Amino acid sequence: MTWIHSIILAIVEGITEFLPISSTGHMALASAFMGIEKNDFTKLFIENIQFGTILSVIVLYWKKFFDFNRLQLYVKLLVAFIPAAIFGLLFKKHIDAVLGNPLFIACTLFFGGIVLLFVDKWFNHPTIESEEKINYKQSFIIGLFQVLAVVLPGISRSAATIVGGMQQKLTRKAAAEFSFFLAVPTLAGAFAKSLWDAHKDTPELLNHHNITILALGNLIGFVVAMLAIKFFITFLTKHGFKVFGWYRIAMGGFILTLLCCGYNLNIG
């Protein structure tokens, strides 16, 4: 992986992590289109680049994260996080396998896009405008929606949790913000596990050069994600999900067309 590769992947991650269009799918496909060699460091980079996006949420919403009079928020996030943590550990081999399947990613992008076309009509009577009014049962159900994205790469963690929130009567803005908050423990857990696994199994990957590339990627991802979150909240509140649905359909259709034409998308 070159410096240019790391910068491009960081930009892709920053843009797509909090938009309902699947950062996992876009990162895998961007790697394939750039012809990045599939090795242990590439996998480590893709898993760890999320650290910068975690920081972007904490910085943007620092008043809520560091208000220790709102301890219920932490409990709600823990309740919502537990299902994904359990299923992520149980189905890691399955997740790695489908992540390397371009047909699977194309299909989840395409059919997930169709769902987004109708979400605004399905859940158009919200009653919850902030996370303070979310109860623990609702938090757990949103966490179950997140499981879909964990075991089916390409669904989009953001899309699944926002739709889950809207199904639980949250407004689009409240659902999006709770999705952002839930990303912190979810992505932090994945980041910590991948870093620990690298330290334990392949410590040679954590050399000065590779750590520098990771640091640069996370810095770029942090800045881009900050901008993406601000854009997404404003756009979603005004316009809803249809644009993202059509984008997913177009992207999924484009990938399916390439596969039908015999183009080899080596993302495994």
| Closest CA relative to residue 245, chosen from 12, 19, 9 | 19
Q: What are the pLDDT digits (tens) for 100-150?
A: 678 888 888 999 999 999 998 999 888 898 888 999 999 999 999 999 888
pLDDT of residue 267: 52
Would you state the structure tokens that stand for residue 85, as one six-digit string? 């943590």
CA atoms within 13 Å, Cβ hemisphere of 76: 22
Helix, strand, coil share of the chain (percent; to 5): 80, 0, 20
Rounded Cα distance, 105 and 75, in Å: 33
Tokens 């952002």 belong to: 180
pLDDT of residue 130: 83
Hey, is 39 helix, strand or coil?
coil
Q: What are the pLDDT digits (tens) for 226-262?
A: 999 989 988 988 888 999 999 999 999 988 898 888 7
Q: What are the pLDDT digits (tens) for 53-81?
A: 889 999 998 888 888 777 888 999 999 99
Residues forming a β-bridge with 128: 170
Cβ-contact 213, 2 below 8 angstroms: no
Cβ-contact 213, 3 below 8 angstroms: yes
Q: Which residues contact 119 (CB under 8 A, 6 or more apart)?
A: 163, 166, 240, 241, 245
Q: Which residues contact 207 (CB under 8 A, 6 or more apart)?
A: none
| Closest CA relative to residue 247, chosen from 266, 229, 232 | 232
| Closest CA relative to residue 172, chosen from 122, 137, 135, 108 | 122
- Whether the per-residue pLDDT at 161 is higher than 60: the answer is yes
- Whether the per-residue pLDDT at 98 is higher than 70: the answer is no
Rounded Cα distance, 219 and 10, in Å: 8
pLDDT of residue 95: 67
